[in-house]
Amino acid sequence: MREAGLEVSRDDAGNLFGRRGEARVWSGSHLDSVPNGGRFDGVLGVVAAIEAAERLPEAPLATVVFRAEENGMIGSQALRERPEAFVELHCEQGPVLERLGAALGVVSAIVGQTRGTVVFDGRADHAGTAPMEGREDALVAAARFVLHVRACAVGEARATVGQVEVEPGTVNVVPARVAVSVDARAPTAAELDALVESIGFQPSWRIEPAAMSGAPLAAVEASLPEAPRLVSGAGHDAHVLAAAGVPTAMIFVRSLNGGASHSPRELSSPEDVAAGVDALTTVLSRLV
C-alpha cells in the first residue's frame, strides 16, 4: 500500500486501510481464508485494489482489507465509518463465467444468508454392550437432519451442514451430543424465510439479500457493457456495505476448474486477472 502512495492505518476492528486524500471511494476485500482454501478468494480483490490505486496516482481513494470475512464478515460489520461508494473485485467462485466463456462478470445482487447451530441430545452408552434397540444415538439423529437440510434446498436455494461436533467423540461410545452447523442461502428474503422454516432451525446470524446499486454499479456496467450479469451465491464484504446503504458494486473474475472455490483447486488465469484489474481501474477512475 505504501509503495502505491497510500497512507496505512488500522481501525479498532482490525480492518486495514490504505488511504490517499479525502477517500470517499473504497475498494478492497479480505485476506483471511477457510481451512485449506484457495489463493484467490479475497486476496485477489485486495491486490487488485492496490494495483488500481497505484495506476491512479492522483486519485483520492482508499484500499481496504476487511478482517475475518469468512467467519461472518466480522470486520466490515464493525466499521465505524463507511465510504460513499465501494467496489469489490472477487473471483466468481462458481462455474457461470467459465461456461459462458466470459472473463469478467457484473454482480447484480448477493443472496441472503443465515447461519446457525442445531444440537441433538442423546445418551452415551457402551458401543459393545448396549443393544441396538433402545439406543439414543445423537449422531444418528443428526445424520437424518443432514439429509433433511439438503432436501430442503430447492431451486436457487442452498443449504449446507459443514461442521459436526460429536461428544464424547470416541470410537467405542454411543454419541451423546452432536452439534451441527447450518448455512442456508436464498436470493430473496421470502425464499430465505421459507428455507429456514422448512429446515426448522433458529438462525443465530442473518444477512438479507442485497442489490448492487448507484454510481458504482453504473460505472461497472458502463465499463463492462457486454459482461454477463450474475447473482452472487457467496457472501462478501460488499454485501455488508450494500446492506448498510452504501452504493456498492462487484466485478467477478472467471474462476477456472469448474468454478472450484474454498478449495486448493481455486484458479483464475493471469489474463483474466489482468482484465479485472483494468476494469477496476477504469471503474475507480470514473467514481473518484
Q: Do residues 159 and 195 lie in contact, with contact meaning Cβ atoms separated by under 8 Å?
A: yes
Quick check: 216 binds ligand GLV (CB under 6 A)?
A: no
Do 51 and 277 contact (CB within 8 A), yes or no?
A: yes
Which residue, 233 or 247, has its beta carbon nearer to Mn ion? 233
Q: Which helix (H) or strand (E) holds 161?
A: none
Neighbours of 267 (CB within 10 A): 19
Nearer residue to Mn ion within complex by CB, 137 or 261: 261
235, interface contact from Mn ion, ligand GLV, none, CB < 5-8 Å by kind: ligand GLV
CA distance 129 to 125: 8
How near is the Cβ of 217 to ligand GLV at its closest, in Å? Answer: 20
234 in contact with ligand GLV (CB under 6 A): yes
Binding to ligand GLV in span 235-254, by CB under 6 A: 235
Site mask, ligand GLV, residues 42-81, x = CB under 6 A?
A: ----------------------------x-----------
User: If 0-12 CB within 10 Å is exposed, 13-18 middle and 19+ buried, where does residue 5 land?
Assistant: middle
The residues that touch Mn ion, with contacts defined as CB under 5 A, are 41-42
Give which of ligand GLV, Mn ion, none residue 32 binds (C-beta under 5 to 8 Å, depending on kind): none
What is d(CA 116, CA 179) in angstroms, rounded to the nearest whole number? 10
Q: Which residue has the cell 465505524?
A: 80
Q: Can residue 214 be called a binding residue for ligand GLV (CB under 6 A)?
A: no
> Which grid coordinates are listed for 106?
457484473
Q: Does 83 bind ligand GLV (CB under 6 A)?
A: no
Positions in the binding site for ligand GLV (CB under 6 A): 70, 234-235
